Chain A
């Protein structure tokens, strides 16, 4: 009897913890899974096609990288109740504030264009015209945000996050060799030697793991959700789960493409889906659906990151808990970014490849600044109190930031000067 009562109370405690987590869950998972956006899927597909399973071990190393950077935004948002843009304005003055805000707006808009490129490419495989995709996406995103509740928006976003897992059954359907995955993928190795091309791929994978909009988005989402200091442990767990999930999805994309298209030159995820469609219709369909979902999820988060940032600085009402009448400028900036980015894709002969490359270059101008500000703000004991970075957090966070800044800068430079590392 004593055993059963103890078991009952233990299970009740666990159930209570799960329920509490389900309330807090959201920003960490959404931002991390949305990180596997159209550009991310393209990078992982190209990695799988070029190196097969050989870089899976490297992707696993990116779990702590993503976690340590993003968990800092959880603490900063929960303690200061301010988004990242406002925190930069307040902490470092108007010059750095305007620089971050305008750069964020540009990076977000360009990234949004790439999400539309991915979504239209994905649906064109099923014969859907680009104008129909753009119109449908804008309408869908209007329905998602105009309900006037952060909670509803978040749960819909989580639903799209679940759809991102479509690559997992896709990988099981092609029956990859588990022995080969373990042998080639989990033991660190540099297939073909450490050359310039491999370095380029490593940089691209790191570059897609941490994007500037993610810092701004998660901190603003934490604030809009109303997270408190006491929720920080759950917020951290949410971020850890999201980091693991995003890398798991990336690994399964590498497995799908590495098994079926190893050795094929892949320039985009849409192209990978088309190739897969020819070899296996179901896998190709899964790849295309996954690409569309990735673009949609990216678009949902990126357009909000800009609108939140503008609302914070200009003092507009800027919460998803407010309807369009209460926060007109917030929704106006949201739809303006969304519609203009969608229209660019529809312009005949628009330089879409140039835009895709330009995103990487512009992102490099914002990411180091946003990361350095993050570390400095987390060391401000006056504001952060007990949630200030400790010595180990600074060492780990500082090391990660230095590596990201260095590699993402080299990646951006290699995009501008393609022959530099080849």
Chain B
């Protein structure tokens, strides 16, 4: 079990290493799109957290 977990973690490390640098050229348009996605996801996470708090209260 522990060996399998270690193998999995090593594999994840390899994947992170392999895809460390984005291959797409980071033009201003691409940067803006990725920034929009970050803000959008943050907004959704905040909404979900708010809903969760509402449900608990």
Contact = CB atoms under 8 A, between A and B. Distances in A.
A377 interface: yes
Interface string A54-94: 00000000000000000000000000000000000111111
Interface residues of B, number: 21
Query: Would you call the interface of chain A mostly helix, strand, loop, or mixed?
Result: helix
B44 A94 contact: no
Given A314-B11, A417-B51, A365 B44 contact: yes
Interface in B11-25: 11, 15-16, 19-25
Given A91-B23, A93-B20, A368 B40 contact: yes
A314 B24 CA distance: 21
A314 B33 contact: no
Nearest to A358: B48
A121 B41 CA distance: 34
A359 to B, nearest CB: 14
Contact of B15 (A313, A365, A416): A313
Interface residues of A, number: 27
Nearest to A405: B40
B51 A376 contact: no
Contacts of A364: 44
A413 interface: yes
B37 A369 contact: yes
Given A314-B15, A372-B37, A92 B48 contact: no
A265 interface: no
B16 A94 contact: yes
A89 B41 contact: no
Contacts of A365: 41, 44
A97 interface: yes
Interface string A224-267: 00000000000000000000000000000000000000000000
A413 B44 CA distance: 9
Interface string B20-52: 111111000010011011001100100110010
Given A368-B40, A376-B24, A380-B24, A94 B47 contact: no
B11 to A, nearest CB: 6
Contacts of A90: 19, 23
Contacts of A314: 11, 15
A92 B22 contact: yes
A93 B41 contact: no
Interface in A89-123: 89-94, 96-97, 99
B57 to A, nearest CB: 15
Contact of B47 (A91, A93, A377, A416): A416
Given A91-B22, A93-B21, A416 B51 contact: yes
A137 interface: no
Q: Which of B15, B16, B19 has the most chain A CB within a 10 Å cutoff?
A: B19
Contacts of B30: 376
A94 B23 contact: no
Contacts of A99: 41
A293 to B, nearest CB: 33
Contacts of B24: 91-92, 376-377, 380
Contacts of A368: 37, 40
25 contacts: A90-B19, A90-B23, A91-B23, A91-B24, A92-B22, A92-B34, A93-B19, A93-B22, A94-B16, A96-B37, A97-B19, A99-B41, A313-B15, A314-B11, A364-B44, A365-B41, A368-B37, A372-B33, A376-B24, A376-B30, A376-B33, A380-B24, A409-B40, A413-B47, A416-B47
Interface of A: 89-94, 96-97, 99, 313-315, 361, 364-365, 368-369, 372, 376-377, 380, 382, 409, 412-413, 416-417
Interface of B: 11, 15-16, 19-25, 30, 33-34, 36-37, 40-41, 44, 47-48, 51
